[in-house]
Amino acid sequence: MQSRHYLPRPLPEPLLELATLALDLRWSWYHGSDRLWSDIDPALWRATQNPWLLLESVSEDRLQALAADAEFLAALRAQLAERNAYLDSRTWFERQYDGRVGGQVAYFSMEFGLDEALPIYSGGLGVLAGDYLKTACDLGVPLVGVGLLYQRGYFRQKLNARGEQLEFYPVNDPTTLPLLPLRDASGAWVHVDLELPGRILRLRAWRAEVGRVPLLLLDSNHSLNDAADRAITGELYGGDPEVRLQQELVLGIGGWRLLARLGIDCCVCHLNEGHAAFAVLERARQYMQRHAVPFAVALRATRAGNLFTTHTPVAAAFDRFAPELVGQYLGDYAGQLGIPLEQLLELGRAGPGGYGAFNMALLAVRGCGAVNGVSRLHGEVSRRIFQPLFPRWPRAEVPVEHVTNGVHMPTWDSVEADALWTEACGKERWRGTLENIEPQLRAVPDERLWEFRMASRLRMVQQLRERVSRQHFGRGGPAAMLQASLGMLDPNALTLGFARRMTEYKRTALLLQDPDRLQRLLASRDRPVQIVFAGKAHPLDADGKWLLQQWQDFMARPDVDGRVVFVEDYDLVVAEALTQGVDVWINTPRRPWEASGTSGMKVLVNGGLNLSSLDGWWAEAYAPEVGWALGDGREHADVATWDARDAEQLYELLERQVVPTFYRRDAAGVPREWLARVRESMVRLTASFSSNRMLREYVERFYLPLAERCRQRTPQRAQALEALHAQLARHWSQLHFGNVSWRQSGEQLEFTVQVYLGELPPESVRVEIYADAPDGQPPFRGALQRGEPLAGAANAYGYHGAVPAARPAGDYTPRVSAAGDGLLVPLEADFITWYR
């Protein structure tokens, strides 16, 4: 497919390759070309940081002058050479696993937060997806992103003179976005069709380049669609449930059809949340067509290559649709699958013969060969959420693993941090396996660490002064306030920061439980403290808007005197400024509602410290040497009482530990104790919570095994597994236990368990001794070996094995579960029978 033959405007011949650089979103984290873009138009570059818009906007006279500028052309050639060297370099994946996946990994996400120049994201899910693509580029993982191009995206925020949130939806003009229409070899715009009730929806395809990784986007704003259908991809998470369903059909079914249209062979399909779960149905449908097998066999074959990553900490937050609405849109599609609509609906309902709403997360679980949460704690929470799908299985064995999220450190490091890390660890530090980072970083002197932290905070203060002055100007504030904003914030003061969605469970107002106490903390003459923060409330979230208003009221107090700064329109630019400059990042979610959280990870590379609830990633990252923890690491039903306790603990930590440690300096003015924490945080946590570690974990734990399982599930093998599953379903109720006996032999208990299998083949079951483990440890599972047939019985055997005698025999329970070569138990065969 062609993508480079189209330009938004003619460029002089010597400058043609500027379009190549501008279209490669690698510039969003590689800043070596910033000087080149600034030379074109310094003011426009400073305002937009968007090379594609720059080329679209600059005058023809300026382009002609640059085309004749030998120094500029030399800089252009140097940047092209650097880009080619980067793209031609041998990557981690090529060195370790080249060819092992055997195709592409299709990464589906409802949003991608790559850069503010491509505003098709709303928050953490999209930013994670953007970091994921960037990391795949750095590590050379053969991945292709699939998403939607929104006409307006997510809302932009402003506050009025009373501090109330206003929402605006500016239009995304595709000609100013760093992407191109996806065209075929003949130059025709690639499109795919999607059947909707009584009509065909035509979807346009776009392509963005993230270095080595393509991002394919679909939009419905096609002139052949009617007005309502053109608006399907209008707003991210906008509209009523019908629009949301339409969007998810476009993403899942339309996205998989686009991959097929382009001939991209994807052995692994990774669903970043359940929004894209319809892709598992379309993948199965196309498999049915290629191999002439029924839907059940096709799903059995393809699910082995599907991965579902859930980011949701509460079951109520999953996307659900009324069965009547799903039937309206998927009734004919069920016919294409060769199944009744009711059978399709059951894929998204709880339990066999389930009823009620169609749940996209349940469809994802039933259509995937692996499921994972996004932190260790979230894995535990997700096993609890999905327990009803596996009602006879212990929670510890509910098939949900976890890969803790990480962030793309080259995107989030400041100029000062990049210089320090390059001095210590080299330019290639984030493209390998990170083993050498710890010893190299430990060698950095305290003075160098403090210099870098002071410079990073100063840069943030300068950026925020300029931005906040524009905020006041936009509200029509008095001249005195505009002037004051230019001098607000102290570049030497301890700076606390946070940025998050304004919603109740994140407890954004926890610091305001005792506003007078907070004011006293901020107003200290000798140990000043200041707060910088940002956040949006969902347009329909009245409670979130009230939280925002509480902060605005506090900031308006005369005795606060500009020591708290709210930055409007929380986006990637704001997040970057805050996480690069703050000294302490504060995060206060109510456990266990933060599935992972990545904002606090972004301060690690920049030498910021975390003070956070023991939730999400911080529950596994925290140690006293690297930051501060809030709460007792447990969940509590009495919300008001524990909010009050956490608020008191937060004040205590700030007053007794954080502030004194920051201002305890030696004769040279260096806070040695503070820097000891900074160093430990950077050394221990930065690599562990980088997207480099995260993606390598996905490759090794999921992508490679899923690709291999998918290759093994030939149509014949899938048919055999489907027949085995049908046999298990038909005859499992006949299985029962006979006598169970045991005797102690030394340090072991030797068990004999009689099992009557009915019509089940012996090789289709696994007989075990099971025992729960204390303190959240993995349970004990000991396999028993089939022995002699039981006298006079048909298809009944004695099973034998030994277990440790360290526990009483009563702690152990025999059980029988399904088994079969390549069968995923219990994910796709949850048959199990317990002795008692």
| Sequential DSSP letters for 91-131 | PHHHHHHTTSS-SEEEEEES-B-S-TTS-B--SHHHHHHHH
Q: Are 103 and 266 in contact (CB under 8 A)?
A: yes
**Sign of the alpha-carbon dihedral angle for 40, 44, 46, 52:** negative
CB distance 564 to 530 below 8 Å: yes
Examine the domain organization and report whether 623 and 650 are in the same domain.
yes
Which of 502-506, 654-658, 702-706, 761-765 shows the lowest per-residue confidence on average (mean pLDDT)?
502-506
Cβ-based neighbour number of residue 14 at 10 Å: 17
**675-679 long-range Cβ contacts below 8 angstroms, 24+ apart:** 675/446, 675/449, 675/450, 676/625, 677/609, 677/625, 677/626, 677/627, 678/449, 678/453, 678/607, 678/609, 679/441, 679/442, 679/444, 679/446, 679/449
What tokens appear for 129 in the block? 């997806």
Assess contact for 366 and 335: CB atoms under 8 A: no
CATH of residue 203: 3.40.50.2000
In this structure, are 72 and 101 located in the same domain? no
| One-letter amino acid of 501 | R
Shared domain for 779 and 803, answered yes or no, is yes
Q: Which of 145, 130, 213, 217 is nearest to 177 (CA)?
A: 217
Residue 482 has pLDDT above 60, yes or no: no
Burial group, residue 802, by CB count within 10 angstroms (0-12, 13-18, 19+) = middle
Q: Which domain holds residue 161?
A: 92-405+704-710
Give, as one character, the DSSP assignment of residue 345.
H
Q: Which one of 647, 678, 710 terminates a domain?
A: 710
Cα torsion for 558, 559, 560, 561, to the nearest 10°?
Answer: 60
CA distance 166 to 421: 40
Beta strand 748-756 with 796-804: parallel, antiparallel or unpaired? antiparallel
Continuous segment of H or E residues that includes residue 269: strand 266-272
pLDDT beyond 50 at 1: no
Q: How many CB atoms lie within 10 A of CB 556?
A: 11
Among 23-32, 343-352, 727-736, whose mean pLDDT is lowest?
343-352
Cβ 619 vs Cβ 377: under 8 Å: yes
**Residue 54 within any structural domain of the chain:** yes
Whether the per-residue pLDDT at 3 is higher than 50: the answer is: no
Domain boundary among 660, 677, 710: 710
> What is residue 475's predicted lDDT score, i.e. its pLDDT?
67
Q: Where are the alpha helices (DSSP H) in 252-397?
A: 255-261, 278-291, 295-302, 323-337, 341-346, 360-366, 376-386
Residues 118 and 225 in one domain: yes
pLDDT greater than 70 at residue 474: no
Does residue 512 sit in the same domain as residue 393? no
pLDDT for 380 equals 95
Q: Is the pLDDT reported for residue 89 higher than 50?
A: yes
Tallying the residues shown for the chain, one arrives at 836
354 pLDDT exceeds 70? no
| Arithmetic mean of pLDDT, 455-479 | 84
Find all residues with CB under 8 Å of 181, minimum gap 6, and list them.
6, 189, 190, 204, 205, 206, 207
* 474 and 595 co-located in one domain: yes
d(CA 112, CA 128): 8
> Do the beta carbons of residue 139 and residue 91 sit within 8 Å?
yes
Does residue 718 lie within any of the structural domains? no
Q: Assess contact for 488 and 460: CB atoms under 8 A.
A: no
Condensed to tens digits (0 to 9), the pLDDT of residues 283-337 reads 999 999 999 999 999 999 999 999 999 999 988 889 999 999 999 999 999 999 9
What does residue 624 show for φ and ψ, rounded to 5 degrees?
-60, -25
> Distance (Å, rounded) from C-alpha 630 to C-alpha 635?
12
CATH of the domain at 811: 2.60.40
Count how many domains the chain has: 4
Instruction: Say if 2 falls within a structural domain.
Output: no
- The band of 481, judged by pLDDT with boundaries at 50, 70 and 90, is low
Give the count of alpha carbons within 13 A of 707, CB side only: 21
Q: Report the percent of the chain where pLDDT is more than 90.
A: 84
720 in a structural domain = no
C-alpha distance from residue 661 to each of 494, 736, 770 (Å): 10, 65, 50
Longest dimension (CA), the chain: 99
Mean pLDDT of the chain: 93
Secondary structure E strands in 53-198: 104-109, 143-148, 156-159, 165-168, 180-181, 191-196
Are 2 and 183 in contact by the 8 Å Cβ rule? The answer is yes
- Asked whether residue 244 falls in the same domain as residue 355, the answer is yes
- What is residue 587's three-state secondary structure? strand
- Is residue 409 within 8 Å of 441, Cβ to Cβ? no
Residue 471 structure tokens? 């905020």
Question: pLDDT value at position 239?
Answer: 83
Examine the domain organization and report whether 176 and 243 are in the same domain. Answer: yes
The answer to whether residue 699 sits within a structural domain is no
Averaged pLDDT, 67-80: 96
- Cα separation of 170 and 202, whole Å? 24
Paired tokens of 291? 């191999």
What's this model's pTM, rounded to 2 decimal places?
0.95
Q: Residue 411: inside a domain, yes or no?
A: no
What separation in angstroms does the CA of 364 have from each of 323, 567, 708, 809?
17, 38, 20, 40
**Are residues 134 and 76 part of one domain?**
no
Percent helix, strand, coil in the chain, to 5, is 45, 20, 35
In a domain, 387, yes or no: yes
CA distance 378 to 313: 7
**Assigned domain for 440 exists:** no
Domain match, 677 and 616 both: yes
Residues 389 and 465 in one domain: no
Same domain, 266 and 136: yes
**At which of 60, 88, 116 does a domain end?**
88
Contacts of residue 612, defined as CB under 8 A and 6 or more positions apart, other chains included, come to 585, 586, 587, 588, 597, 600, 618, 622, 627, 628, 629, 630
